[in-house]
């Protein structure tokens, strides 16, 4: 920032104005830091520096920031509040996003046998495709069991499993699923 020390703030880029505002707010050494769209206007190098700073400050301070860049929130935060149409629709730790996520399973079996095996459970199962060597891909989800537990059940039942991989949930996919409900549905938090 030394290069623009004597420049009027109105002549600076948005990125420099953001950085000066952040520096000004940190001078008082606050316990809480509130940031609104903090990386808006920053160039890629400045974004990297901003993220480093947030990680350092986050060790000793509480930082609240609003952003439409969900990947940035996922990368920097440990908790997220999701607002939609002015209402709080989710309040959760970000590590909970990975809980109860669907698994993609490659198995050499016919779909009906596979689905009937799970017919008396709460599992959600769909066939998503066929691969080479007659393997089928299934997406399976359980509210109660992890992917490791599902694998054990399939292994114990002697299903010919080629692979089982938890699907990656992202904050963006959670946001989409929470905000694309039918108008009369309530949101599950």
CB-based contact 116:96 (threshold 8 Å): no
3-state helix, strand, coil in the chain (%, to 5): 40, 25, 35
CB-based contact 169:156 (threshold 8 Å): no
DSSP assignment of 112-171, as one string? Answer: HHHHHHTTTSS-EEEEEEE-GGG-EEEEEE-SS--HHHHHHHHHHTT--EEEEEEPPP-H
pLDDT digits (tens, 9 = 90+) for 117-143: 877 676 777 777 776 667 778 888 776
> How many alpha carbons fall within 13 Å on the CB side of residue 179?
13
Domain extents in the chain = 2-77, 102-166
Q: Which residues of 104-137 are buried (b: 16+ CB within 10 A; e: fewer)?
A: bbbbebeeeebbebbeeeebebeeeeeeeeebbb
pLDDT digits (tens, 9 = 90+) for 45-69: 889 998 999 999 999 999 998 998 8
The yes-or-no verdict on residue 184 having pLDDT over 50 is no
pLDDT digits (tens, 9 = 90+) for 88-99: 988 888 877 666
User: For the whole model, what pTM was predicted?
Assistant: 0.59
Q: Can you name the CATH fold of 102-166?
A: Alpha-Beta Plaits (3.30.70)
Confidence of residue 32 (pLDDT cuts 50, 70, 90): very high
| CA 119 distance to own-chain centroid | 31
Instruction: For the domain covering 2-77, report its CATH number.
Output: 3.40.50.300
pLDDT of residue 120: 67
CA distance 30 to 34: 10
Q: Residues in the chain, how many? A: 189
CB-based contact 93:107 (threshold 8 Å): no
């Amino acid at each position: 920032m030394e290069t623009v020390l004597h420049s009027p703030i109105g002549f600076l880029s948005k990125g420099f104005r953001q950085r000066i505002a952040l520096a000004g707010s940190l001078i008082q050494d606050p316990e809480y830091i509130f940031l609104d769209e903090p990386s808006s206007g920053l160039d890629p190098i400045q974004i990297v520096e901003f993220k480093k700073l947030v990680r350092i400050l986050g060790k000793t301070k509480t930082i609240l920031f609003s952003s439409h860049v969900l990947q940035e929130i996922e990368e920097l935060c440990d908790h997220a509040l999701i607002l939609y149409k002015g209402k709080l629709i989710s309040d959760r730790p970000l590590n909970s996003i990975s809980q109860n996520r669907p698994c993609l399973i490659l198995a050499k079996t016919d779909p009906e046998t596979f689905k009937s095996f799970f017919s008396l459970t709460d599992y959600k199962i769909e066939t998503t495709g066929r691969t080479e060597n007659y393997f089928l891909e299934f997406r399976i989800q359980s509210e109660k069991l992890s992917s490791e537990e599902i694998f054990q059940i399939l292994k114990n039942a002697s299903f010919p499993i080629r692979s089982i991989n938890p699907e990656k949930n992202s904050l963006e996919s959670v946001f989409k699923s929470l905000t694309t409900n039918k108008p009369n549905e309530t949101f599950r938090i």
